Amino acid sequence: MNIPDHGQIRFDGFSPDDLKLLVTGDLCPVADVEDNFLAGKGEMVYGDMLPELRDKDLSVTNLELALTCGGAPIDKCGPNLRSDPRIFAGMAQAGFDVYGVANNHSRDWGDAAFIETLAHIAAAGCRYVGGGRNAAEAAQPLRLTVKGQRLAIFALTMHCDCDAGEATPGANALNPPFNTLAIREAKDAGDLVVVIFHDGKEHVPFPARRIRNYCRAFVAAGASAVIGHHPHITRGFEFYRGSLIAYSLGNFLFPKRRETTTELPAFWYEGYCLRLRLGRSGITGLDVIPHRYDAAKQCLETVRDPAARQRVLTRLNRLNAILAQPGENERYFSAAAAAFSYYYHILRNFNNDMIDGCEDPKRKAENGKIVNHYLNCEEHWDVLDATTLRQWHGVTDVPADLKELY
């Protein structure tokens, strides 16, 4: 699928009156963004993206932290993220209607903080999706009627420390067979189905075969759009059986955390929003809206400069072309996954500790936590699968343009 310079894609049956659904990537209002929201500078933070964000009938963002000043950080791999709930007035300047909480940070500060987050969203007159007081509640789609159209929005995440349990609150964990059946039921009930997923190896611009398989299954079950985030880098998109699959929108608004001492890659600050045009029978059009966060100005901006915009769209079109060539995406993912060969050193150390009876409790606990994370979180399965197969078959080729796609 080639994206024209103006970013608008239209299909047969498109009408200007079609429902406009805007979807963003990861929203994590920490550091200077939190400060500016608290200071009432929401419009400044959103910058010239504000008109784009407000041009919608319904908008969905992924809130990737807990809204709380209390709680205690859960024991997990990765940082524990939270923001002062008083940011809501500033954050709300974008006009978001729905906040997704199916991600690996929404329960970072414990069960009570997660429930508090849901309460803050509801108190602001907004809706949430992908989380609940238990796994059954978290798995429920958000059902809405907008412009006379019935929508069912599902949100789900790869397995992580924030998952809901049978009797404990948290995020809706990925379960492809169950998810596929639920999508089919919603479609059969007459709903237009949109699926938002949080999954994929971080910093890799290609989806693993596992993700492509379940996204296509969701489409076959009746989803009109399947849209992803989490990798912190943008990925391409494709149209499959007349439906959209976007594999990662990248970060929407995710500044550098104050405790992060290393510089973040340029792609961390870049992403794109999608404005879906939805008719009675499904997707009729698409607006691709590239954006970036200017850390110096502390604001979002649309990518308007012709040269910069051309660079973004050329890269996205190249990623789309790779998705369209059988086997090519898997070849690129395999080559990119080779950068994570250090996984095997961690696995070896843990294995040796288990065999040798390591008596250092701190080392055992730290290595055990990481290995358990590798075994339970699907994004790491993908890396181990790809790198193991690559080594087994003696594959050494690296696509010539791999580095250019970061």
Alpha-carbon distance of 320 to 234, in angstroms, equals 11
- Asked if 283 contacts 13 with a C-beta cutoff of 8 angstroms, the reply is no
> What's the longest Cα–Cα distance across the chain?
68
Structure tokens at 191: 């709903």
| 68: three-class secondary structure by DSSP | coil
Distance CA 378, CA 228 (A): 14
Q: Are 68 and 33 in contact (CB under 8 A)?
A: no
Domain positions in the chain: 8-324, 332-405
Q: Is 49 left (phi over 0), alpha (psi -120 to 50) or beta?
A: alpha
Q: Kindly state the helix (H) or strand (E) to which residue 155 belongs, with its residue range.
A: strand 149-157
Compute how many other C-beta atoms are within 10 angstroms of the C-beta atom of residue 356: 8
* pLDDT of res. 356: 81
Closest of 333, 316, 158, 300 to residue 230, by C-alpha: 158
What's the count of helices (H) and strands (E) in the chain, helices before strands? 13, 19
Locate 238 and state its tokens: 């494709």
Amino acid at 185: E
Burial of 249 (0-12, 13-18, 19+ CB in 10 A): buried
CATH top class, domain 8-324: alpha beta
pTM (predicted TM-score): 0.97
Query: Which residues does 140 contact at the CB level (< 8 Å), separation at least 6?
Result: 132
- Structure confidence at residue 367 (pLDDT): 84
Q: In what order do the strands lie in the sheet with 237-240?
A: 142-146, 149-157, 192-198, 223-229, 243-246, 237-240
The pLDDT value recorded for residue 171 is: 98
Q: Counting Cβ atoms within 10 Å, is residue 148 exposed (0-12), middle (13-18) or buried (19+)?
A: exposed
Q: Percentage helix, strand, coil, to 5, in the chain? A: 40, 25, 35
Task: Classify 353 as helix, strand or coil.
Answer: helix
Rounded Cα–Cα distance for residues 171 and 103 (Å): 6
pLDDT of residue 362: 82
Work out the number of other CB atoms within 10 angstroms of the CB of residue 116: 19
Q: Digits of tens for pLDDT over the chain (406 positions)?
A: 899 999 999 999 999 999 999 999 999 999 999 999 999 999 999 999 999 999 999 999 999 999 999 999 999 999 999 999 999 999 999 999 999 999 999 999 999 999 999 999 999 999 999 999 999 999 999 999 999 999 999 999 999 999 999 999 999 999 999 999 999 999 999 999 999 999 999 999 999 999 999 999 999 999 999 999 999 999 999 999 999 999 999 999 999 999 999 999 999 999 999 999 999 999 999 999 999 999 999 999 999 999 999 999 999 999 999 999 999 999 999 999 999 999 999 999 888 888 788 778 788 788 889 999 999 999 999 999 999 999 999 999 999 999 999 9
